[in-house]
């Protein structure tokens, strides 16, 4: 029996109108949809008039649910893998399903789309040099310090996701470790309360910094190096 295909489908990170035509056609055409939180994803599907059986893949049960999904794929079903927002496997569940599907020889097809990473890089203002994306930053000061020290001497653009309650503490630690570097912050990207802040770390900390929402931060570490050498 011919195996099915696993489609890794990117969905909007906020604004539902950002979904691609190809993503919609894929979601309409598969046998099932595997997602992080069924209730949240049903809102997206209902908005576009899509009704499909849903399987849950959360961080807590990903390894176990991956086996069940792959069994269905081996029987010939087609399945779309999605996350709550953005791209599965990029700081979201998805890696176990993809890895196991590849091990079993099942075709895995990406359906790219909205991304906070590419969104913030596109409005950085200059073509970035080497980009390092670390996903969500650790909550403990020691682990955070370790990450910052690892990239301390590299001329890079550093991109990370920062939780709302962590943003001020992170910027303070950043200033202590890397100095007064130039940064760009996107808050609630593509959503109703989308906000952009840019400047040196000290300028951002001295301004109005709401401690809520989802934050994406890009640090022009190479800009500091350039300024120092000039």
Residues 86 and 176 in one domain: no
Task: pLDDT band for 229, please (50, 70, 90 cuts).
Answer: very low
Statement: residue 225 has pLDDT above 80: no
Of 50, 79, 111, which residue constitutes the final position of a domain?
A: 111
Residues 97 and 40 in one domain: yes
Task: pLDDT band for 228, please (50, 70, 90 cuts).
Answer: very low
Task: pLDDT band for 197, please (50, 70, 90 cuts).
Answer: very high
Q: What's the CATH number where 166 sits?
A: 3.30.950.10
CA distances to 12, 32, 122, 166 from 143, in Å: 30, 39, 29, 14
Give residue-wise pLDDT tens across range 98-129.
Answer: 999 999 999 999 999 999 999 999 998 877 67
- For 58-121, what is the HEC assignment? CCCCHHHHHHHHHHHHHCCCCEEECCCCECCCCCCCCHHHHHHHHHCCCCEEEECCCCHHHHHH
Residues 202 and 155 in one domain: yes
- Residue 59: its pLDDT value, please? 76
Give residue-wise pLDDT tens across range 65-97.
Answer: 899 999 999 999 999 999 988 999 887 878 899
Facing residues of 6 across strands? 79, 108
CA 163 – CA 75 distance, rounded (Å): 40
Residues 17 and 87 in one domain: yes
Count of the separate structural domains present in the chain: 2
Closest CA to 224 of 208, 202, 206: 202
Residues 81 and 11 in one domain: yes
Parent domain of 185: 116-229
Task: pLDDT band for 184, please (50, 70, 90 cuts).
Answer: very high
- Residue 223: its pLDDT value, please? 52
Burial of 143 (0-12, 13-18, 19+ CB in 10 A): exposed
Average pLDDT over residues 192-201: 93
Statement: residue 25 has pLDDT above 80: yes
Q: Which residue has the higher pLDDT, 230 or 162?
A: 162
**Quick check: is 1 in a domain?**
no
């Amino acid at each position: 029996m011919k195996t099915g295909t696993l489609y890794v489908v990117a969905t909007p990170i906020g604004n539902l109108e950002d979904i691609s035509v190809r993503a919609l056609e894929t979601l309409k055409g598969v046998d099932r949809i595997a997602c992080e939180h069924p209730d949240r994803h049903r809102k997206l599907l209902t908005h576009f008039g899509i009704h499909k059986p849903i399987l849950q893949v959360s961080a807590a049960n990903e390894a176990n649910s991956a086996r069940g999904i792959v069994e269905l794929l081996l029987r010939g079903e087609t399945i779309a893998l999605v996350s709550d927002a953005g791209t599965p496997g990029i700081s979201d569940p998805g890696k176990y399903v993809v890895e196991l599907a590849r091990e079993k020889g099942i075709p895995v097809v990406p359906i790219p789309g909205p991304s906070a990473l590419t969104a913030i890089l596109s409005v950085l203002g200059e073509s970035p040099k080497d980009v390092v994306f670390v996903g969500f930053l650790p909550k403990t000061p020691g682990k955070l310090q370790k990450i910052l020290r690892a990239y301390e001497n590299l001329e890079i653009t550093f991109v990370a996701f920062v939780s709302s309650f962590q943003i001020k503490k992170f910027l303070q630690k950043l200033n202590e470790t890397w100095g007064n570097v130039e940064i760009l912050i996107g808050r609630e990207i593509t959503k109703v309360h989308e906000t952009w802040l840019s400047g040196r770390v000290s300028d951002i900390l001295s301004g109005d910094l709401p401690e809520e929402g989802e934050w994406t931060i890009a640090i022009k570490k190479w800009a500091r190096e350039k300024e120092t050498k000039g």
